[in-house]
Structure 1
Amino acid sequence: MSSTALADPQPPFRNAPETLQVIKRNGTLVGFDSSKITVAVTKAFLAVEGDQAAGSARIHDAVERVTGQVVQAISRRLRAGGKVHIEDIQDQVELALMRAEEQRVARAYVLYREEHARQRACDAPVEPHPHLTVKKASGQTAPLDLGLMKRQVEQAAAGLDGIDGDALVEEALTNLYDGIAEQDVLSALVMTARSRIELEPDYSAVTARLLLEQLRLESAAALNLSTDLPLAELYPQALKAFVAAGIGYELLDAALADFDLERLGAALTPERDLQFGFLGLQTLYDRYFLHWNKTRLELPQVFFMRVAMGLALREDDPNARAIEFYNLLSSFDYMASTPTLFNSGTRHPQLSSCYLTTVGDDLSDIYGAIRDNALLSKWAGGLGNDWTPVRALGSHIKGTNGQSQGVVPFLKVVNDTAVAVNQGGKRKGAVCAYLESWHLDIEEFLELRKNTGDERRRTHDMNTANWVPDLLIERMREDRDWTLFSPSDVPDLHDLYGNEFRARYEQYEALAEQGEITLCKKIPAKQLWRKMLTVLFETGHPWITFKDPCNLRSPQQHAGVVHSSNLCTEITLNTSAEEIAVCNLGSVNLAAHVANGELDVQRLERTVTTAVRMLDNVIDINYYAVPQARHSNLQHRPVGLGLMGFQDALYQLGLPYTSPEAVEFADVAMEHLSYFAIRASASLAAERGAYESYEGSLWHQGILPIDSIQLLKQARREGDLTVDTGARLDWTPVRELIARHGMRNSNVMAIAPTATISNIVGVSQSIEPAYQNLFVKSNLSGEFTVVNPSLVRDLKAEGLWDKVMVNDLKYFDGSVQQIDRIPDELKARYATAFEIDARWLVEAAARRQKWLDQAQSLNLYMAEPSGKKLDALYQLAWERGLKTTYYLRSLGATGAEKTTPVSAPQPQVCSIDNPDCEACQ
Structure 2
Amino acid sequence: MELPTPDRTDLSITAPRALRVIKRTGDVVAFDVSKIAVAMTKAFIAVEGDNAATSSRIRDLVAQASQSIASAFQRRMPDGGTVHIEDIQDQVELALMRAGEQKVARAYVLYREEHARARAAAGDEIEKPHPTLNVTLADGGRRPLDLGRIETLVFDACAELENVDPNRIVEESLKNLYDGVSVDGVSQALMMTARTLVEKEPNYTYVTARLLQDNLRREALSFLGIAEEATFGEMAELYKPAFQAYVARGIAFEQLDPALAEFDLERLGDALDHTRDNAFTYLGLQTLYDRYFIHRDDVRYELPQVMFMRVAMGLALNEDDREARAIEFYELLSSFDYMASTPTLFNSGTVRSQLSSCYLTTVPDDLDGIYSAIRDNALLSKWAGGLGNDWTPVRALGSYIKGTNGKSQGVVPFLKVVNDTAVAVNQGGKRKGAVCAYLETWHLDVEEFLELRKNTGDDRRRTHDMNTANWVPDLFMKRVFDDKEWTLFSPATCPDLHDLYGAAFEQRYEEYEAMTRSGQLKLFKRVRAKDLWRKMLSMLFETGHPWITFKDPCNLRSPQQHAGVVHSSNLCTEITLNTSVDEIAVCNLGSVNLAQHVTDGKLDDDKLKRTVRTAVRMLDNVIDINYYAVPQARNSNVKHRPVGLGIMGFQDALYAQDIAYASDEAVEFADRSMELVSYHAIEASSDLAAERGRYESFEGSLWSQGILPIDSIEKLKQERGEKYIEVDTSATQDWDRIRVKIAEQGMRNSNVMAIAPTATISNICGVSQSIEPTYQNLYVKSNLSGEFTVVNAYLVHDLKARGLWDEVMINDLKYYDGSAQPIERIPDDLKAKYATAFEVEPKWLVEAAARRQKWIDQAQSLNLYIKGVSGKKLDVTYRMAWFRGLKTTYYLRALGATSVEKSTVDRGTLNAVSNQAPSAAPAPSAAPSSEPRGVEDFLTGKAGSGSRAPSASDIDDLGCEACQ
- Contact 1:860–1:886 (CA under 8 A) maintained in structure 2: yes
1:126 shift after superposition: 6.4
Amino acid at match of 2:756: A
Q: Does residue 828 of the first structure (1) align with residue 832 of the second (2)?
A: yes
Deviations 1:307-340 (A, max 9, x none): 0000000011111100110001111100000000
Identify which range, 299-308 or 887-896, moves more after superposition: 887-896
Residue pairs, 1:487-498, within 5 angstroms: 487-498=491-502
Equivalent of 1:381 in 372, 385, 402: 385
Q: Does residue 631 of the first structure (1) align with residue 632 of the second (2)?
A: no
How many residues are matched?
780
Q: Does residue 718 of the first structure (1) align with residue 757 of the second (2)?
A: no
Residue pairs, 1:27-426, within 5 angstroms: 127-129=128-130, 132-227=133-228, 230-426=234-430
Structure 1 CA distance for aligned equivalents of residues 624 and 519 of structure 2? 53
Structure 2 CA distance for aligned equivalents of residues 733 and 897 of structure 1? 55
Partner of 1:873: 877
SS at match of 2:162: coil
1:420 shift after superposition: 2.1
Amino acid at match of 2:555: N
Structure 1 CA distance for aligned equivalents of residues 383 and 804 of structure 2? 48
Equivalent of 1:506 in 504, 510, 526: 510
Partner of 2:97: none
Structure 2 CA distance for aligned equivalents of residues 450 and 891 of structure 1? 19
Partner of 2:709: 705
Deviations 1:720-751 (A, max 9, x none): 11100011011122111100011000000000
Structure 2 CA distance for aligned equivalents of residues 355 and 182 of structure 1? 45
Q: Does residue 898 of the first structure (1) align with residue 903 of the second (2)?
A: yes
Identify which range, 125-134 or 356-365, moves more after superposition: 125-134
Partner of 1:657: 661
Identify which range, 739-748 or 396-405, moves more after superposition: 396-405
Structure 2 CA distance for aligned equivalents of residues 418 and 654 of structure 1? 44
- Contact 1:393–1:406 (CA under 8 A) maintained in structure 2: yes
Deviations 1:858-901 (A, max 9, x none): 0000011111111111111111100001111012555845379x
Residue pairs, 1:571-586, within 5 angstroms: 571-586=575-590
Task: Report the aligned-residue RMSD.
Answer: 1.7
Structure 1 CA distance for aligned equivalents of residues 460 and 173 of structure 2? 51
Partner of 1:852: 856
- Contact 2:864–2:892 (CA under 8 A) maintained in structure 1: yes
Q: Does residue 792 of the first structure (1) align with residue 796 of the second (2)?
A: yes
Amino acid at match of 1:150: E
Partner of 1:759: 763
Structure 2 CA distance for aligned equivalents of residues 410 and 177 of structure 1? 60
Structure 1 CA distance for aligned equivalents of residues 616 and 597 of structure 2? 17
1:403 shift after superposition: 1.7
Structure 2 CA distance for aligned equivalents of residues 774 and 399 of structure 1? 62
% identical equivalent positions: 71
Structure 2 CA distance for aligned equivalents of residues 340 and 819 of structure 1? 43
TM-score, normalized by length of structure 1? 0.83
Deviations 1:133-174 (A, max 9, x none): 321223223333334323321221111122233332333334
1:642 shift after superposition: 0.3
Deviations 1:641-665 (A, max 9, x none): 0000000000000000011111001
SS at match of 2:431: coil
Residue pairs, 1:523-542, within 5 angstroms: 523-542=527-546
Amino acid at match of 2:543: T
SS at match of 2:589: strand
- Contact 2:583–2:633 (CA under 8 A) maintained in structure 1: yes
Deviations 1:337-393 (A, max 9, x none): 000000000000000000000011112111111111111111111110000011111
Q: Which runs of 5+ in 1 are unaligned?
A: 1-123, 901-913, 917-921
SS at match of 1:558: helix
1:759 shift after superposition: 0.3
Q: Go from structure 1 to structure 2 and tell me whether the alpha carbon gap of 1:808 and 1:270 turns closer, same or farther (over 3 Å shift).
A: same
Q: Go from structure 1 to structure 2 and tell me whether the alpha carbon gap of 1:643 and 1:598 turns closer, same or farther (over 3 Å shift).
A: same
Equivalent of 1:620 in 603, 621, 624: 624
Amino acid at match of 2:633: A
Residue pairs, 1:884-895, within 5 angstroms: 884-892=888-896, 893=898
- Contact 1:812–1:899 (CA under 8 A) maintained in structure 2: no
- Contact 1:126–1:148 (CA under 8 A) maintained in structure 2: no
Deviations 1:689-721 (A, max 9, x none): 000000000000110000000010000123211
Structure 2 CA distance for aligned equivalents of residues 200 and 427 of structure 1? 34
Structure 2 CA distance for aligned equivalents of residues 568 and 601 of structure 1? 29
1:180 shift after superposition: 2.2
SS at match of 1:700: helix
Q: Go from structure 1 to structure 2 and tell me whether the alpha carbon gap of 1:209 and 1:815 turns closer, same or farther (over 3 Å shift).
A: same
1:915 shift after superposition: 11
SS at match of 1:719: helix
Identify which range, 786-795 or 169-178, moves more after superposition: 169-178
SS at match of 2:789: strand
Structure 2 CA distance for aligned equivalents of residues 427 and 526 of structure 1? 39
Amino acid at match of 1:217: R
Partner of 2:955: none
Structure 2 CA distance for aligned equivalents of residues 234 and 337 of structure 1? 28
1:192 shift after superposition: 2.5
Structure 2 CA distance for aligned equivalents of residues 235 and 167 of structure 1? 30
Equivalent of 2:483 in 474, 479, 482: 479
Q: Does residue 676 of the first structure (1) align with residue 680 of the second (2)?
A: yes
1:259 shift after superposition: 0.2
- Contact 2:352–2:627 (CA under 8 A) maintained in structure 1: yes
Partner of 2:436: 432
Partner of 2:556: 552
1:128 shift after superposition: 4.4
Structure 1 CA distance for aligned equivalents of residues 429 and 620 of structure 2? 27
1:516 shift after superposition: 1.6
Amino acid at match of 1:190: M
Structure 2 CA distance for aligned equivalents of residues 634 and 140 of structure 1? 57
- Contact 2:778–2:790 (CA under 8 A) maintained in structure 1: yes
Partner of 1:780: 784
Amino acid at match of 2:264: D
Deviations 1:750-789 (A, max 9, x none): 0000010000000000000000001111211111111111
Deviations 1:61-86 (A, max 9, x none): xxxxxxxxxxxxxxxxxxxxxxxxxx
Structure 2 CA distance for aligned equivalents of residues 479 and 138 of structure 1? 76
Partner of 2:32: none
Amino acid at match of 1:223: L
Equivalent of 1:521 in 494, 507, 525: 525
Structure 2 CA distance for aligned equivalents of residues 260 and 689 of structure 1? 28
TM-score, normalized by length of structure 2? 0.79
Structure 2 CA distance for aligned equivalents of residues 378 and 200 of structure 1? 42
Structure 1 CA distance for aligned equivalents of residues 853 and 279 of structure 2? 32
SS at match of 2:704: coil
Q: Which runs of 5+ in 2 are unaligned?
A: 1-124, 906-931, 935-964
- Contact 1:344–1:350 (CA under 8 A) maintained in structure 2: yes
1:129 shift after superposition: 4.2
- Contact 1:811–1:898 (CA under 8 A) maintained in structure 2: no
Partner of 1:50: none
1:613 shift after superposition: 0.4
Equivalent of 1:667 in 662, 671, 677: 671
